[in-house]
């Protein structure tokens, strides 16, 4: 398989652990009656074809009422032996803490992640915020924390922030910019280049009848971050 064919393959059938990978800057709002299925793919087009990293992720989410929504995630990764090695299963509970029609919205998300092969499991608590400006602009800011539990776990809290500034356009389109900051374990004293920081544009488009597509390209700001990460999500509301 030559380089061009391999790129085509990963774009349509992407799966290794990328720094941001299937991650997103999720909103605090919960919509009553919401139910959707989502496929996410991410690829790190490294300088050599045998170094290309990619992953697949499947989401299913369903609201409980206007304040709570649950979600389950399954993710595979590329390893030396296979393109589709099991990575983790994660359950999430969203809690919308704000009232509808407010310009400022805020909420929490609770996570529980299960891994295999003696890798540590993970518990997370995340605070998500959105402010709606005039003229269809909005900004999101997330503070994310997680701890490891179980086999081979490491003490301390992992810290992340995520940011998004976007504008909704006509015909179901959205454009924006995202910033991801992974600071690592709070017990470490890593420098900026030893942490993972990346930035890049997003484009979202509604495809009609409940379908939508999200695309993004992230570019590394620190030495540890991948030079480039490409992401595509396809969502079907049910």
What pLDDT, on a 0 to 100 scale, did the predictor assign at position 196?
Answer: 95
What pLDDT, on a 0 to 100 scale, did the predictor assign at position 6?
Answer: 36
Residue 67 DSSP one-character state: S
- Structural domains in the chain? 3-237 (2.40.160.40)
Question: Residue 82: what are its φ and ψ, rounded to 5°?
Answer: -155, 155
Helix (H, G, I), strand (E, B) or coil at 7: helix
What pLDDT, on a 0 to 100 scale, did the predictor assign at position 62?
Answer: 98
Q: Quote the pTM value.
A: 0.88
Q: How far apart are CA 117 and CA 196, in angstroms?
A: 25
Helices and strands counted in the chain (H then E): 1, 12
What pLDDT, on a 0 to 100 scale, did the predictor assign at position 7?
Answer: 38
Would you give per-residue pLDDT tens digits along the chain (238 residues)?
A: 344 343 333 333 333 346 677 899 999 999 999 999 999 999 888 755 566 678 899 999 999 999 999 999 999 988 777 778 899 999 999 999 999 989 999 999 999 999 999 999 999 999 999 999 999 999 999 999 999 999 999 999 999 999 999 999 988 999 999 999 999 999 988 999 999 999 999 999 999 899 999 999 999 999 999 899 999 999 999 9
């Amino acid at each position: 398989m030559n380089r061009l064919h391999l790129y085509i393959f990963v774009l349509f059938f992407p799966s290794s652990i990328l720094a941001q990978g299937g991650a997103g800057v999720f909103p605090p709002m919960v919509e009553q009656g919401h139910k959707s299925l989502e496929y996410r793919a991410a690829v790190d087009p490294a300088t050599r074809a045998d170094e290309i990293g990619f992953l697949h992720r499947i989401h299913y989410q369903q609201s409980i009422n206007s304040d709570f929504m649950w979600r389950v995630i399954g993710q595979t990764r590329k390893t030396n032996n296979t393109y589709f090695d099991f990575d983790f299963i994660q359950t999430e509970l969203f809690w919308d803490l704000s009232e509808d029609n407010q310009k400022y919205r805020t909420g929490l998300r609770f996570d529980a992640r299960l891994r295999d092969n003696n890798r540590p499991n993970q518990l997370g608590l995340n605070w998500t915020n959105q402010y709606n400006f005039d003229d269809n602009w909005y900004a999101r800011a997330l503070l994310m924390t997680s701890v490891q539990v179980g086999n081979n776990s490491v003490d301390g809290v992992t810290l992340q922030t995520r940011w998004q500034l976007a504008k909704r356009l006509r015909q179901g389109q959205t454009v924006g910019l995202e910033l991801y900051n992974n600071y690592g374990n709070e017990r470490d004293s890593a420098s900026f280049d030893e942490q993972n920081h990346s930035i890049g544009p997003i484009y979202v488009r509604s495809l009609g009848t409940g379908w939508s597509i999200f695309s993004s390209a992230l570019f590394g700001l620190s030495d540890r971050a991948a030079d480039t990460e490409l992401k595509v999500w396809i969502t079907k509301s049910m």
